[in-house]
Amino acid sequence: MNQRLTLASSVAGAVIVALDGTVLTVAQPSLQRDLGASFAQVQWTSTGYLIAVASLLVFAGRLGDLPHSPRRGGTPIGHHRLFGIGMLGFGAASAGIALAPGVGWVIGLRVVQGVFGALLQPATLGILRVAFPPDRLRTPIAVRTAAIGVSAAVGPLLGGALVAGPGWRVVFLLNVVPALVLGTLALTVPAPPHTASPARLDMPGALLLALTLACLVHALVGLPGWVWTAATAAVTGAAFVRHERRTASPLLPPSVIGSTAVGSALGMLVAASAALSGALFAGTFLLQDTLGLDPLRSALVSLPLAALMVAAAPTCAVLLRRVGARRTAVAAMALLALGILVLSRTPAIPLLCTAFALVGAGFGTVMVAATHVVVREAAVESAGVAGGLQQTAMNVGPVLGVAVATALLGTGDGPGLPLIVLAALALAGAAPGRALPGRQKTPVNDHGDSKDRTRVPAQR
């Protein structure tokens, strides 16, 4: 595979999804006024997408690992094909939203976007795992993370300018052309060599996991009927675990979920993304309600977060090589916790900027370090599952963080208490980091399993 083209495609896919989420937040008030939508309907433009994407990520990742017809030895579907299909579908759905005549169409097309986003997101990591040897994954993952940081900084500014000018519909046209071009390219270039897993696709397991995650997200968002969906998530989750233990071809291979390092890295990603999203949610009230800043000044105060997230990504690649994932990730979680704690205690603008910088540096570092462990520890034939699990953690974590912040803000004590709790959550998230591998001493010479990787036997 052409490594530069693969990296560019992975970055573009991640940026398109990230930009779509950030600019939608800016466009929602204008969309509500223009379409005469209720607040609940506008909320579903985000929730519908989130439920669709979160419930299908692992299934889509596994789909890229398997052949077309396991019984007949068909050719591998491949992550690059799923990447192409996901890009084309995502771009087409975006164009449809820009032309939508009513809010019902917007909600439905956002769900469609979520389905294609689920195909796209694991593939952005799967193609990297196939194209790069394990000992050279640090830099591609760092570049991908830095690009996501840039989109987080540029998205609100670009979205605000477009909404104030041509209008909210133009926001959804941003990613149409690059999505269609890259999607077409991915489907027309020759398929790269790919080792498909000999296992069958576990459809009962996929359905149980999708239902569990969909109900979990619905419950965390706090929509009406969340008690029943939480109970359903518990029942279907237990049924999924029971099914996975008994089936001959589980959706989640024991070689992936049985790795202590992978499980710990996923736990850190959930904790870090929950702490970050919850802190940003509570921080908005701190900046605008407590300090009385307008939205523009609030965005400028928080800008160091995105800047340090971008700077932390390449720095983390160096740290991973020199000190290893364990020390890097644990220190990053501590830095993230410190930044959120300073944010809860500091009313002065310069120190608030410093707090956001600490949060950005900590989150950017742990995102690269933990993602590197998840992708690197997975064998090539399980790269899609690893990517799906990583993306699931990055989608469920923010929902959890915002739910915690919302519940604590409802107590009437202001944003201070939620920020302290979220700082404690980030600090607790450092504990799993002790199970991550340390500094690697033996280089890897091929695309297969590394001789220097810390392996933990699968738990059966």
From residue 110, give the alpha-carbon distance in Å to each of 51, 96, 102, 105, 281: 10, 9, 13, 8, 22
Predicted TM-score of the model (pTM) = 0.82
Flag residues of the chain having pLDDT under 50: 68-76, 442-460
Q: What is the DSSP string of 420-451?
A: HHHHHHHHHTTGGGGGS-----S---SSS--T
- Residue 386 has which token pair? 């690893």
Cα separation of 359 and 342, whole Å? Answer: 10
Q: What is the pLDDT of residue 68?
A: 45
DSSP 266-305: HHHHHHHHHHHHHHHHHHHHIIIIIS---HHHHHHHTHHH
Question: Per residue in 205-234, pLDDT tens?
Answer: 889 999 999 898 888 887 667 788 889 999
pLDDT of residue 67: 56
pLDDT at 46: 85
Query: Taking a C-beta distance cutoff of 8 angstroms, is the pair 116, 175 a contact?
Result: no
What distance in Å separates the CA atoms of residue 19 and residue 91, rounded to the nearest whole number?
Answer: 13
pLDDT of residue 197: 53
pLDDT at 96: 94
pLDDT of residue 452: 38
Question: How confident is the model at residue 427, as a pLDDT?
Answer: 93
Alpha carbons 360 and 416: distance in angstroms, whole number: 19
pLDDT number for residue 454? 38
pLDDT at 264: 92
pLDDT score, position 74: 44
Token pair 């937040």 in the structure block, residue: 25
Per-residue CA distances from 453 to 139, 197, 213, 362, 436 (Å): 18, 21, 31, 25, 10
pLDDT of residue 458: 38
- How far CA 417 is from CA of 279, 314, 398, 402, in Å, comes to 11, 33, 18, 14
